[in-house]
Amino acid sequence: MNPPAIAIDGPAASGKSTVAKLIAKELGYTFINTGAMYRAITWYALRRGANPADAAQICALLPEIPLEFGKDGTCSTVLFEGRVLSAELTSPETNQYVSTIAAIPEVRAYLLRKQREYNKVEPVVMEGRDIGSVVFPDTPFKYFVTASPEERARRRAKQGLTDSITERDKKDASRACAPLTQAPDALLVDTSEMSIEQVVERIITDIRTKLA
């Protein structure tokens, strides 16, 4: 039996990926980026010419979707025809439609199984929107990482990415199925005025306290 997953949720550009990666490194766990999984399905659906707003069209692709969810070293990856997807996942088109596709219950059910499988194989730090609330509701390690909208917009711009994060957050938080939410038993970490090192330290201290 692997230790329970470390669940890290939060809105876009809250710094949760950076933090989750560092925590995974510190603990020797594998880092799983679930946003990349939703992004890969979005990229593939657009490539096939499917209409993201037509759930039936998207669902029809799922049974034969040629994406592989793997890992490279200590990080999750998504492969298409043996190639790790990377820049495709943050293209403007993918950014624009990922929240629409992530709201489809069948897409979420499909990825939920894949996400849970990772923790059967090895210990994981998993980052997303519904990890503490839906994917691993029983884990004692739940963290909701956020920052003010201004700070998140600033961080996104610094990465050179144009992504309307407010709009995406609104869609992610208002969908009926597994919305972006802070689980009632999650520790809230507002990173607006914290360095990355301070955030990692805060979360690692909590994990170690609970493990002791």
Quick one: which of 7, 1, 6, 10 has its CA closest to 211? Answer: 6
128 binds ligand DC (CB under 6 A): yes
Q: Work out how close the CB of 205 gets to ligand DC at its nearest, in angstroms, rounded to a whole number.
A: 24
For helices 165-174 and 92-102, angle between their N-to-C axes, nearest 10 degrees: 10
Question: Dihedral through CA 95, CA 96, CA 99, CA 100, nearest 10?
Answer: -150
Q: Work out how close the CB of 194 gets to ligand DC at its nearest, in angstroms, rounded to a whole number.
A: 19
146 binds ligand DC (CB under 6 A): no
What span, in angstroms and rounded, lies between the C-alpha atoms of 140 and 61?
Answer: 35
> Among residue numbers 32 through 61, which ones bind ligand DC (CB under 6 A)?
34-35, 38-39
168 binds ligand DC (CB under 6 A): yes
Rank residues 174 and 205 by Cβ distance to ligand DC and give the closer one: 174
183 binds ligand DC (CB under 6 A): no
Query: Which residues on adjacent β-strands are paired with residue 33?
Result: 127
What span, in angstroms and rounded, lies between the C-alpha atoms of 102 and 22?
Answer: 26
Q: Work out how close the CB of 135 gets to ligand DC at its nearest, in angstroms, rounded to a whole number.
A: 7
Q: Work out how close the CB of 40 gets to ligand DC at its nearest, in angstroms, rounded to a whole number.
A: 10
Name the phi and psi angles at 192, rounded to 5: -50, -40
Task: Report the interface residues with ligand DC, using CB under 6 A.
Answer: 12, 34-35, 38-39, 98-99, 102, 128-131, 168, 172
